[in-house]
Amino acid sequence: MHYWIDLPNIVTRLGTLHLGFCRSYFRTIFIKGITMMRTILIAAMLMVAHSLTLGVNNVYLDIVKNGQDKNADTLFVGGHYVARIYITNDVSLGEIRVPLRFWGGIVGKDGSATAGHYWDWLDVGGYGTTTRCVNVVPGSRMDPPNTIWDSEFTVIEWNMNEVSPDTLGIEGVAADGGLPSGSGQHMISIHFTPRMTTFGLIMLWADTAHIAPPGEFMFYDMVGTPIHPSFSSPGQWAIALVCGDANGDANVNVGDAVFLINYVFKSGPAPVPRCAGNANGDANVNVGDAVYLINYVFKGGPAPDHGCCP
């Protein structure tokens, strides 16, 4: 008796079975991989959402020229500048303590700084016992402050007496609703104008006031739990003269030429500092600078020399 083995057919069938098994196996692996990736992605999204809504408390400070929105790298003498305080809080706050320190110095070639006071606080009719240089931004979460901080809102001037550094504290205490939670928003403005009483690389720095109380920024939620917000800021700004700005209004125009003519011929007040009137860069302040400014303003002549004060 002879038995025929249809080897090609068997191989074909085995191949079909093997291929079907492989397809099923890899389909299962693929589905499991997709499921795992989706789980990981959802978990990551939840972690990001959690980080955006919880544990985010920050005080941010920058300085801008009044009416502008970009941080000013250089502060020009005579200009109106605003130190802006932004607050981010992830829960309603029943109390805030924001102690600030502003300090200046002239930086030597070796990097060391000699302390000095190179700004004046501007009275804008706001908060403060002597300078009234602080106001709350209309329309912000802190406005009106006497409603948000229905128990107390105050600006404490620990040291605002022409001795660098200047330190002040902004504090609010709520009995009811408190400060609503929200992302970083400009809430507080502090107004000042830079001045220069000496020459060289003049800097202004801003950070926390390391004095008691409280020594650092503090938030408290509505049940009194303390929260330690982080602090961020560009941190430092150069103070510079506007050469040719003889009358100290942070602009260069015909008014400066008139100011110089009055100074030279009528014994009027001198520019402060005097070298600010040195528009043509010849190290003198005289009628030539007034002529130089008139040529610049009305005839498109060259701008005042940037090296007016050596």
Q: Report the pLDDT value the prediction gives residue 230, as an integer from 0 to 100.
A: 92
Mean pLDDT for 122-140 is: 92
CATH number where 157 lies: 2.60.40.680
Q: Round to whole Å and give the CA distance between 201 and 207.
A: 20
Q: How confident is the model at residue 37 (pLDDT cuts 50, 70, 90)?
A: low
Give the contacts of 213 (CB within 8 A, at least 6 positions apart). Answer: 97
CATH number where 279 lies: 1.10.1330.10
Of 220, 240, 260, the residue at which a domain comes to its end is: 240
Query: Tokens 């955006």 belong to which residue?
Result: 52
The more confidently predicted of residues 301 and 27 is 301
* Burial tier of 256 (Cβ tally within 10 Å: 0-12, 13-18, 19+): buried
Q: Report the pLDDT value the prediction gives residue 106, as an integer from 0 to 100.
A: 82
Q: Report the pLDDT value the prediction gives residue 215, as an integer from 0 to 100.
A: 54
One domain for residues 281 and 188: no
One domain for residues 150 and 233: yes
Lowest-confidence range among 42-46, 190-194, 204-208? 42-46
Mean pLDDT for 146-154 is: 92
Q: Report the pLDDT value the prediction gives residue 249, as an integer from 0 to 100.
A: 79
pLDDT surpasses 60 at 103? yes
Q: With contact defined as beta carbons under 8 Å apart, do 74 and 238 qualify? A: yes
One domain for residues 208 and 109: yes
Q: Report the pLDDT value the prediction gives residue 23, as an integer from 0 to 100.
A: 52
Of 240, 264, 296, the residue at which a domain comes to its end is: 240
For 237-268, what is each residue's pLDDT tens digit?
998 888 888 887 778 899 999 999 999 999 99
The more confidently predicted of residues 139 and 243 is 139
One domain for residues 25 and 104: no
Predicted TM-score of the model (pTM): 0.71
Structural domain tally of the chain? 3
One domain for residues 141 and 250: no
pLDDT surpasses 70 at 25? no
Q: Which of 167, 211, 209, 172 is nearest to 190 (CA)?
A: 167
The more confidently predicted of residues 245 and 233 is 233
Query: How much of the chain is in helix, strand and coil states, percent to nearest 5?
Result: 25, 30, 40
One domain for residues 5 and 136: no
Q: With contact defined as beta carbons under 8 Å apart, do 122 and 135 qualify? A: no
Average pLDDT, the chain: 81
One domain for residues 157 and 284: no
Phi/psi at 117 (5° precision): -110, 110
Of 36, 53, 70, the residue at which a domain comes to its end is: 53
Q: How confident is the model at residue 177 (pLDDT cuts 50, 70, 90)?
A: confident
The more confidently predicted of residues 49 and 121 is 121
Lowest-confidence range among 169-178, 227-236, 274-283? 274-283
Q: Report the pLDDT value the prediction gives residue 109, as an integer from 0 to 100.
A: 67
Mean pLDDT for 275-291 is: 89
pLDDT surpasses 80 at 4? no
One domain for residues 305 and 256: yes
One domain for residues 136 and 37: no
Range of the domain at 28: 1-53
pLDDT surpasses 50 at 53? no
Give the contacts of 37 (CB within 8 A, at least 6 positions apart). Answer: none
One domain for residues 232 and 154: yes
Q: Report the pLDDT value the prediction gives residue 213, as an integer from 0 to 100.
A: 47
One domain for residues 106 and 216: yes
Q: Report the pLDDT value the prediction gives residue 29, as an integer from 0 to 100.
A: 56
One domain for residues 38 and 70: no
For residue 144, is the peptide bond before it cis, meaning its omega torsion is within 30 degrees of 0?
A: yes
